[in-house]
Amino acid sequence: MKNGLQEPVSLTIPSVRTLDKLSDEIGKKMMFGSNDLYYALRDESVCQKYGYDTATIACMFVPNTYDLYWNISVDKFLERMKKESDKFWNFERTEKAKAMKLTPVEIITLASIVDEETANNGEKPMIAGMYYNRLMLRNAEYPEGMPLQADPTIKYAWQRFDLKRIYNNLLSIKSPYNTYKNPGLPPGPIRIPSVAGIDAVLNHVHHDYLYMCAKEDFSGTHNFARTYDEHLQNAAKYSKALNERGIK
């Protein structure tokens, strides 16, 4: 307080994986408790008020820094986040999403997968292009699109973010987030994606790659492939490197 007036606090929306973590991080900075925010975000009627459901409400949070009053209510806080989200989805971004035949929620969901795949902002548009190719592919083999087969969605389905390798026994989990079993995007984002991740999807690289595998040099970047046979060669190199390092 200064001269009887309250000064705003700077709140940074974190790029986290779960609503409970989001609520916890925000609750540390604001007067309302983390539980109050968490229960609001898990309330279907609250989410519907802003045009989302409990699986997609995370899409309303754009990870920037905002000035807010410490004693703001949860309702007013959510209204502010909706306003900031609407501002973020300006004409240019909205038109790019339309050109891709995706909604902002779908763009954010795809961006969350891209962000989980790499921290390398320079490679994100390439990865986004690969997943977009799978999403849009339609042929006799894939009438509903080619499954994304995104390993981060398996980690999310199991809620096991520490997994270093995804073995076949993990791919059978019955979950709408299992993109090995279910075509299309998962029901919502698997984390709050970065602005760089969102813009990487909107400005993805146009190419014809359908596969990727982490590089065997552990640089955090990927080898891309057009065919499954080529992909298997890349996967074998990476698997060999993992085995040599004793990573299980």
Q: What residues in the chain have per-residue pLDDT under 70?
A: 1-5
Q: Which two tokens stand for residue 153?
A: 């969605």
Would you state the pLDDT for residue 5? 59
* Averaged pLDDT of the chain: 95
pLDDT tens, 210-220?
Answer: 999 999 998 88
Angstrom distance (rounded) from CA 39 to CA 74: 10
Where do the structural domains in the chain lie, given as residue ranges?
9-88, 91-207
Angstrom distance (rounded) from CA 56 to CA 155: 18
Alpha-helix residue ranges (DSSP H) falling in the chain: 19-27, 34-41, 44-49, 74-88, 91-99, 104-117, 124-136, 151-158, 195-202, 228-245
The pair phi, psi for residue 119, each rounded to 5°, is: -95, 0
Would you state the pLDDT for residue 78? 98
Would you state the pLDDT for residue 220? 85
